[in-house]
Amino acid sequence: MRNLLVRISFIGTRYGGFQVQENAPTVCGELNRALLAILKHPAEIKGVSRTDAGVHARDFAFSFRTNNPIPEEGLVRALTALLPADMGVHSCTEVPEDFHARYSCTGKEYAYRFFPSKERDPFLEPFVYRYGGALDVAAMDAAAAHFVGTHDFSAFRAAGSSTQGSVRTVFRAGVTWEGGLVVFRVAGNGFLYNMVRIMAGTLLEIGAGRRTADSIDAALKQGRRTLAGPTAPAKGLCLEQCFYEKKGG
């Protein structure tokens, strides 16, 4: 039995997230359909992350097992031919028997993109959160450093989340200008449900002058969701990288 790791990218706009749902198209649903046609048997797909509805990915990984002898490059070509235009397939690699796309992952990097403009740019709109006010990017970058380290991120996850455990390690976090966009980048060993979007919403309020960086420390220490900022819209979020190295990138 072969265990294969596939790396893909996708625009999440029309999908209800990664996991299969009855009432919405999903990334996994498209992959299931394509792999069934290629392999001639259902594949049990293990994704690196569930991703929220509307979230994008430049580097998403999934693994599955098959006895089909199709070459790795052949699988990439076949998936590319069968998947919709808002999904891309980049590589396929045979991995050890005990490899699991989610549990073998040592870290992920996300980017959240703000577009500080009162005018809508239709070429950016699906991928950014447009904010019409001024943003203090230096203050946002300094505040983002408060996330770095091992913390209990209870205040930065969606209320009612069923995820077991809330302690995560953030390797790096920062906010910079990138081609006219304000981009929050964060890498860590794992993220709670809506965690990056809440971090982004908190930083937005700091950049807009509505809260201070000290509020991040208070939220981390007290663990109350009400002490963190709002959940930023999904469309500004993108999974940039999945790490499988020992140090998580």
**CB hemisphere CA count around 132 (13 angstroms):** 3
Separation between Cα atoms, residue 191 and residue 63, nearest integer Å: 20
Q: What is the pLDDT of residues 70-117, one digit of tens each?
A: 999 999 999 999 999 999 999 999 999 999 999 999 999 999 999 999
| Cα distance between residue 230 and residue 208, in whole Å | 13
3 state SS of 71:
coil
pLDDT at 248: 38
pLDDT at 237 over 90: yes
pLDDT confidence tier of residue 245, bands split at 50, 70 and 90: confident
Distance between CA atoms of residues 42 and 40, nearest Å: 7
**pLDDT at 65 (0 to 100):** 97
Half-sphere exposure (CA, 13 Å, Cβ side) for 228?
Answer: 30
The full DSSP string for 128-184 is SEEE-S---HHHHHHHHGGG-EEEE-GGGS-TT---S--EEEEEEEEEEEETTEEEE
pTM of this structure: 0.94
Per the prediction, the chain carries an average pLDDT of: 94
pLDDT of residue 160: 65
Give the tens place of pLDDT for each residue, 176-195.
999 999 999 999 999 999 99
Q: What is the pLDDT of residue 246?
A: 55
Q: What percent of the chain has pLDDT over 70?
A: 97
CA 131 to chain centre: 21
Handedness of CA 86, 178, 194, 174 (dihedral sign): positive
- Above 90 in pLDDT, residue 214? yes
52 annotated active-site? yes
Is pLDDT above 80 for 249?
no
pLDDT bin (cut points 50, 70, 90) of residue 21 is confident
The mean pLDDT of 145-151, rounded to a whole number, is: 97
pLDDT of residue 163: 62
> CA-to-CA distance for 133 and 135, rounded, in angstroms?
7
Q: Within its chain, how far is the Cα of 155 from the centroid? A: 19
Measured in residues, the chain has a length of 249
Q: For residues 31 and 25, give the distance between their C-alpha atoms in angstroms, rounded to a whole number.
A: 11
Place of tokens 């209800």: 16
**21 exposed, middle or buried (CB, 10 Å; 0-12, 13-18, 19+)?**
middle
Closest CA to 182 of 190, 174, 192, 193: 174
Collapsed DSSP state (helix, strand, coil) of residue 237: strand
